[in-house]
Amino acid sequence: MTIDGKVVVVTGGGAGIGKALCERFHRDGAIAVVVVDRDGVRAKEVAAAIGGTAIAMTGDVTIQADVTRIVEETESRVGPIGLFCSNAGVLFTDPDWDDASSDSVENWMRGWGLHVMAHVFAAKVLIPRFKARGGGHFLQTISAAGLLSAIGGGVYSTTKHAAIGFAEHLAITHREDKIGVSILCPQAVDTDMIRGADKAAALKDGVLSPAAVADAVATGLREDRFLILPHPDVLGYFQKKAADYDRWIAGMVRLRAATRPST
């Protein structure tokens, strides 16, 4: 797909990858970029810096009514959405390194809401609209953790796997409706989410700038790719996992031991 002439919505657009996506889509000719963030001040700052027809909206994408409002307000103000980017996310780490279930129920539910239900809510309101006008595109920021795993992050890894499951279902069900789906699966990116965290396993293949990730997205969308991998090594890891699951698990156990946090 091409961005030129499209109305684009980016959730989690106030910082990090979301901000970089907003900036890139504006440069690529979007007729409007809607910067959505739970932090309304940050959304307004990004929209003001972009200028032009960029607009800011405040909303919590874990709330279905907020997602519906964002879509309806966007289409009433600037026209039909061509690309909806579900980018908002959160990183929780296991409070007890030696207990995979140790994170709080509240964090499990928050992760599920942001990484899975936010995508579902966007699809619920946009699928009928996309079908009625002959197409549209979903970009879902997931993570390499959804293809592989996140050592020390039970909530993150589990919900990101589920997000890929829904994205696959969406792509399979609606390709004939000319509804495109792309998933963005980077490893470490220089954002607030990764700064200050001990993520040795994720950091070993390098930390990309948000702008570099946005460049990879632009290429992936242009080539109509389902899977967008800013870190090329992820594909090899994913292939090795599929080729010998037991060997891959054993390797991850060794990696976990090598990256145990110091006490």
Q: List, run by run, the mean pLDDT of 10-residue segments along the chain (263 residues).
A: 96 97 97 98 98 95 98 98 97 95 97 98 98 98 97 97 98 98 95 58 75 97 98 96 97 93 75
Could you list the residue range(s) of the whole structural domain that residue 91 is in? 7-236
- Measuring CA to CA, which residue among 228, 116, 133, 118 is closest to residue 178? 133
Q: For position 194, what pLDDT does the model report?
A: 61
List of E strands, 142-206: 179-184
- Measuring CA to CA, which residue among 159, 148, 154 is closest to residue 201? 148
Does residue 231 sit within a domain? yes
CA 191 – CA 4 distance, rounded (Å): 27
Q: For position 206, what pLDDT does the model report?
A: 82
Q: For position 96, what pLDDT does the model report?
A: 96
Does residue 149 sit within a domain? yes
Does residue 249 sit within a domain? no
Does residue 244 sit within a domain? no
Burial degree of 220 (CB within 10 A; 0-12, 13-18, 19+):
buried
* Contacts of 87 by beta carbon, 8 Å cutoff, 6+ apart: 10, 11, 12, 13, 17, 18, 21, 139, 140, 141
- Asked if 181 contacts 123 with a C-beta cutoff of 8 angstroms, the reply is no
Does residue 257 sit within a domain? no
Would you say the C-alpha torsion 212, 216, 219, 221 has a positive or negative sign? negative
Does residue 241 sit within a domain? no
- Asked if 77 contacts 47 with a C-beta cutoff of 8 angstroms, the reply is no
Q: For position 202, what pLDDT does the model report?
A: 52
Does residue 247 sit within a domain? no
* Domain count along the chain: 1
Strand order from edge to edge, sheet including 32-37:
55-58, 32-37, 7-11, 81-86, 136-141, 179-184, 227-228
- Asked if 33 contacts 8 with a C-beta cutoff of 8 angstroms, the reply is yes
DSSP string, 37-72: ESSHHHHHHHHHHH-TT-EEEE--TTSHHHHHHHHH
Does residue 243 sit within a domain? no
Query: What is the token pair recorded at 65?
Result: 């009514």
CA 106 – CA 90 distance, rounded (Å): 13
> What is the three-class DSSP state of 81?
strand
Q: Tell me, what CATH number does 128's domain have?
A: 3.40.50.720
